[in-house]
Homo-oligomer: A and B are copies of this chain.
Amino acid sequence: MIIVLRPDATEEQQDHIIKKLKGLGLQVHISKGTERTIFGAIGDEAILQSVPLEAIPGVEKVLPILKPYKLASRDFRKENTVIDVGGMQIGGNRIAVMAGPCAIENKTLLVEIAKEVKAAGANFLRGGAFKPRTSPYAFQGLEEEGLKYLAETRERVGLPVVTEVMDPRDIDMIVKYADIIQIGARNMQNFRLLKDVGLCKKPVLLKRGISATIKEWLMSAEYIMSGGNHQVILCERGIRTYETATRNTLDLSAIPVLKQMTHLPVVVDPSHAVGKWDLVAPMAKAAVAAGADGLIIEVHSNPEEALCDGEQSLKPKSFKQLMDELRPIAVAVGRTI
């Protein structure tokens, strides 16, 4: 931690700061420059992370040196984390493709879509039973009934399933049915939920909050990991910017940034990012080219009748075409799909 003093910091203030740092078991390195005096606090920086140094008179600013997350950090684990879900891997050479409807609507439709996406090459089925909707008057999901359809579809079609949890009270129930538990963008900083999924044994797909920095996102991964569950998959799904031509702005540069900062696998959701089905394919291709470990894509047999996010759903035929187009790109970046 670097502490930059104000030019008018008194001797007394300086002594107070030094005493405080030493009292925390840190060594203090003093460097008097031409315009500012700087203190370097040497030792375990974590001690200082919760000390409001900027509240101390005489301090101009504080510059942290280390990252505030540990378990999620590439420093902590050099090699990539590969997560195994019933024989399918996420973070390995093969790109994971999770496809399916936004919301589970009924069993017949779910099975139909699952078969289609599997035939096209998807290796996971996505579908929501609990839906976070901006409006209290919108369809909120089939809840446990939907989870049952999901589990039945898995059996019939043979795809592991990903589904969202919104409430810590539902975790036990969801864990019974799902292979991967999803934390949605709006819950990325629902810290109670993070703690509780941190106690599960199931992999967690952690979506980036729509205005979360990459650092905050990794702190949320850290919450889950600090509970003992190290199977975290990060999912970029677009961030909120001033641009309104797309629903959100897909931040693909997060992929190479994350690959430097963390060992966790990174998946991209182009559907929610762009919000329009005819923009999904180019962004899915770009995600693979940028190094994503997986994709999560909304597919619906009849988008205009979908109960949720029909605008951004691909029809099975378009999804199949996309899969065909993705293959050579995956090969070009040394992967398979």
Contact = CB atoms under 8 A, between A and B. Distances in A.
B191 A132 contact: yes
Contact of A303 (B7, B55, B63, B186): B55
Given A252-B282, A325-B332, 7 more contacts: A34-B43, A50-B307, A55-B303, A55-B306, A134-B189, A244-B244, A252-B252
How many chain copies does the complex carry? 4
Nearest to A138: B50
Interface string A225-259: 01100000000000111111110011111111100
A56 interface: yes
Given A273-B253, A288-B289, A311 B169 contact: no
A214 B136 CA distance: 16
24 contacts: A2-B2, A2-B63, A7-B75, A31-B40, A38-B65, A40-B40, A54-B311, A55-B311, A132-B189, A166-B192, A211-B211, A213-B244, A239-B241, A239-B242, A240-B242, A245-B253, A249-B253, A252-B286, A253-B273, A253-B282, A255-B282, A285-B333, A286-B286, A325-B333
Determine the main DSSP class of A at the interface with B: mixed
Contact of A210 (B166, B211, B227, B291): B211
Interface stretch (A106-114, A118-126, A216-224): A216-224
B257 A279 contact: yes
